[in-house]
Amino acid sequence: MVDDKTVRALEAKAVEIRRSILNMVYRANSGHVGGSLGATDLVVALYYHLLRHDPRNPKWPDRDRFILSKGHCSPVIYAVLADCGYFPVTDLETFRRPGSHLQGHPFAPKTPGIEASTGTLGLGISTGLGMALAAKLRGEPQRYYILCGDGEIQEGQAWEAAMFASKYRLDKVIAFVDRNYLQTDGNTEDIMPLEPLAAKWEAFGWRTFEIDGHDFRQIIAAVECARALQGKPTMIVARTVKGRGVSFMENEVAWHGTPPSPEQYERAIEELSRAI
């Protein structure tokens, strides 16, 4: 079990990352703030507690790989990678600027720590599973962690990937669905219903867990359990709140891809400052 001190440290780090996300999107006057804020706890748990990685050696062969399949939420992975030391924190000021290596969707050839270029929805999970199969055939030890959006997995490609992973028994794959129930046009269950989501992944041959995606104890426990089991890939359905940490952004579809005004930015930063 994870101890209280570790949980408090992860919670504090998540607040820092949310501040960075807001700073990036506000400066650029562009970007996906709601989903990035909602996914922060999942990405923080991975990079600061669960992943084997080394910012001083981004190409370490035995490192675990993280694939942000919901690539439009690039602010969260950029903020974490910069904080970990993959590139200077000052680079975050160039988010979405011409010539920057930090564009709206992750581009692996230019950004240290990015394992796959993503953004075309459904592509990230397919890419990660192909990488995992190659590693299995080579007998390599790394694990593959993939973060999908719930709107994203309405794509048929995601379910082809699900069958592929089950067939090849890719048990080094631990994936997440960021289950916030919101996508660009509204609620997922109005646009293209996904429930019963965990049962669907089970039917496709995956081991599944359902957790609170903002509870570090639950996130860590689910991953540790998945790592101890063999023979199947794992999907963790993580219930999250879009816009988490900023009261007026939470559960509001309007914040899917809308930058804050100066007044909204100041209010959001003030709320997060009180949370530290």
At 141, the pLDDT band (50, 70, 90 cuts) reads: very high
For the chain, give every domain's residue range.
Answer: 4-275
Q: Please provide the CATH number assigned to the domain covering 4-275.
A: 3.40.50.970
SS3 245: coil
Q: What is the pLDDT of residues 224-248, one digit of tens each?
A: 999 999 999 999 999 999 999 999 9
Q: What is the pLDDT of residues 103-140, one digit of tens each?
A: 999 999 999 999 999 999 999 999 999 999 999 999 99
What is the average per-residue pLDDT within 242-262? 97
Q: What is the pLDDT of residues 66-84, one digit of tens each?
A: 999 999 999 999 999 999 9
Gap between the Cα atoms of 73 and 40, Å rounded: 10
pLDDT of residue 25: 98
Gap between the Cα atoms of 180 and 34, Å rounded: 10
pLDDT of residue 188: 97
What is the average per-residue pLDDT within 253-269? 97
Q: What is the pLDDT of residues 80-93, one digit of tens each?
A: 999 999 999 999 99
Gap between the Cα atoms of 172 and 100, Å rounded: 33
Gap between the Cα atoms of 24 and 259, Å rounded: 10
Percentage of the chain beyond pLDDT 90 is: 99
Gap between the Cα atoms of 236 and 241, Å rounded: 16
H helices, E strands: number in the chain: 9, 7
pLDDT of residue 43: 98
Question: How many Cβ atoms are within 10 Å of 55's Cβ, its own excluded?
Answer: 16
Query: Could you tell me which residues are beta bridge partners of residue 67?
Result: 146
Which contiguous run of DSSP H or E holds residue 253? none
Q: Check whether 95 has a pLDDT greater than 90.
A: yes
SS3 221: helix
Distances (CA, A) of 175 to 125, 266, 267: 8, 35, 34
Percentage of the chain beyond pLDDT 70 is: 100
Q: What is the pLDDT of residues 3-27, one digit of tens each?
A: 999 999 999 999 999 999 999 999 9
Q: Check whether 276 has a pLDDT greater than 80.
A: no
pLDDT of residue 275: 83
Gap between the Cα atoms of 147 and 137, Å rounded: 23
pTM: 0.98
